[in-house]
Chains A and B, each alone.
Chain A
Amino acid sequence: MRGHLPPFLSNATGFLPLLPLEVIARRLMSNAMAARPSFAARLGEYAGRTFAIDPVDCPFVFLIKPEGGRTDMKVVRRSVAQDHDARIAAPLVVLIGMVDGTYDGDALFFSRDLSIDGDTEAVLALRNAIENAELDPSTVLGLPKSLQGPVNRATRRLFVELRRLLDAPEENGPNSGANP
């Protein structure tokens, strides 16, 4: 798959301790949920499903259950990530690009840069809810308004560069570097 982290970095992420990673991921997730209270409503009945978000170039998987206001999130090793209703798998930078609107999920699926299995309806609901959430880096980081512009711009530049270095799929979304 295009956009994979290089093997040395991929292997290095294997040494990351899961608990602190989970604490950080939960924090980011709850920032996003607090900023987008309608997210769970848009998911409707699928909010009760467990989604495995699988960055295929890392050895861990995020298990997310976005029910109501109290989203449940676990970070587990891929070998034990069995208990889920649906799985969305792609390289890490591609998954991040889907969250921030850089990529179109359908296009990634057509080009086989992203794969899904399990409950297709739940995957679509999640994809559409994420699309509508218009999440940007400063929202996920929970930053005050004054910092949002510069942080979003800097992060986008960083990701444009990173995706180029990793030969990730071409960007063309409203949040890519390509459009004014």
Chain B
Amino acid sequence: MTTPLELVCPAGTPAGLRTAVDAGAHSVYCGYRDETNARNFPGLNFDRAEMKEAAAYTHEHGAKILIALNTFMRAGCTDLWKRGVDDAVAAGADALILADVGLVDYARKTYPKQRLHLSVQAAAATPEAIAFYRDRFGIARVVLPRVLTVEEIARLTAQAAPCETEVFVFGGLCVMAEGRCMLSSYATGKSPNMTGVCSPPSHVSYREESDALVACVGGFTVERFERGEAAGYPTLCKGRFEADGAVSHLFEDPVSLNAVELLPRLAEIGVTAFKIEGRQRGRAYISTVVRAFRKAIDTMAVGGKVDYDELRSLTEGQRDTVGAYKKAWR
């Protein structure tokens, strides 16, 4: 192992943040309660006062707070995003996670010393793109899209240096290059890129139909869960659709990402940070997952043997995948 590993954990609420920090997160990522962050779900996120308290709590416990402003600025309304940057810096963010190149430019010019990370939403997946952000704006870390193989990540990590790389290792899976998927826009007019929500709950409805649970997004039936079958949030890319007379998952099966078995290899190739997805998840989930991953990382750091079975059991009986990391998707 060549680099110290950082466990980056989700914090959807102040209570979730304290739970993640207490469970052993090296850093937590969170966002303001508006469309500036890509998890703009009702009841989630932080107001200005809560963010300051969160930063204080995180620092008191020796962890870092990464504030995400990772949607794309709307023309004519860029002040909302710039104000977000100003307030995040004032709150004491250890890093800002940004996607919009204009906002990156604003943050760099206004706060030359502020550490900046490039969000997965920016979809920087080539050495050229990463080098541009690194050399032009001093981006210190890039969060890589979940569409790369481990060997691609190895090459990118080597070429991105001294810019660090961060990869998702656990949680829900966005199967396209983030920041470029328009499915939700087509179906609902709202997207993670502009409004911070994919398949937004305002457009989701469930109904019971002769023992099955039918889930719709924007009026389109996306999934039908038969009795006893595990349910899921009806994210558009994970639905079952009928095409050419056959019903199947067109894009990807509704599996969770679980890259536990790849942790040693990812560490070996120089990835700096492992990210857990799930700002929308509850404290019960956060505490269990963070604790287990922190234990694994600490074990790896001393050359011990990681208990993969414990980590595998975290997918709650749902099927999991190593995603594109091994090009295992169909």
| A residues apposed to B, CB below 8 Å | 41-44, 46, 98, 101-107, 109-112, 115-117, 120-129, 131-134, 171-176, 179
Give the CA-CA distance A106 to B12 in the complex, in Å: 14
Cα A172 to Cα B289 with chains together (Å): 10
| Contact yes or no, A121 B284, CB < 8 A | no
**Least Cβ–Cβ distance between A1 and chain B, in angstroms:** 11
Pair count A-B, CB < 8 A: 120
Question: A117-B208, A174-B284 given. 14 additional CB < 8 A pairs?
Answer: A101-B282, A102-B284, A104-B284, A109-B233, A111-B230, A112-B225, A117-B207, A124-B280, A127-B43, A128-B12, A131-B12, A132-B14, A173-B288, A174-B22
4 pairs of A and B residues whose beta carbons are closest in the complex:
A173-B284, A128-B43, A125-B43, A125-B42
Any A CB within 8 A of the CB of B19? yes
Q: Which residues of B contact A103 (CB under 8 A)?
A: 282, 284
- Given A110-B316, A172-B288, also A133-B15 (CB < 8 A): yes
Compute how far the CA of A105 lies from the CA of B284 in the bound complex, rounded to whole angstroms.
9
A174 to chain B, nearest CB (A): 4
A117 touches B206 (CB 8 A): yes
Residues B201 and A106 in contact, CB atoms below 8 Å apart? no
Q: Report the interface size for chain B: residues with CB under 8 A from the other chain.
A: 41
- Known contacts: A106-B233, A120-B205, A132-B13. The answer to whether A174 contacts B283 by CB under 8 A is yes
A122 to B200, CA, bound (A): 12
Within 8 A of A (CB), among B1-59: 12-16, 19, 22-23, 41-44, 47
B282–A105 touching, CB < 8 Å: yes
Chain B residues near A107 (CB, 8 Å)? 282, 284-285, 316
Known contacts A101-B284, A173-B287, A129 near B207 by CB under 8 Å = no
A115 near B213 with CB under 8 A, answer yes
Contact (Cβ within 8 A) B284 A124? no
Whether B230 pairs with A112 at a CB distance below 8 angstroms is: yes
The CA-CA distance from A37 to B231 in the complex, in Å, is 34
B287 and A179: CB pair below 8 A? yes
Residue pairs across A and B with Cβ atoms less than 8 A apart, 18 shown, are A98-B282, A101-B284, A104-B284, A107-B285, A110-B316, A111-B231, A111-B317, A112-B230, A115-B206, A131-B13, A131-B16, A132-B14, A132-B43, A172-B287, A173-B283, A173-B288, A174-B23, A175-B284
Q: If the complex has contacts A112-B230, A116-B206, A128-B13, are A106 and B283 also in contact, measured as CB distance less than 8 A?
A: no
Task: Check A44–B43 contact: CB distance below 8 A.
Answer: yes
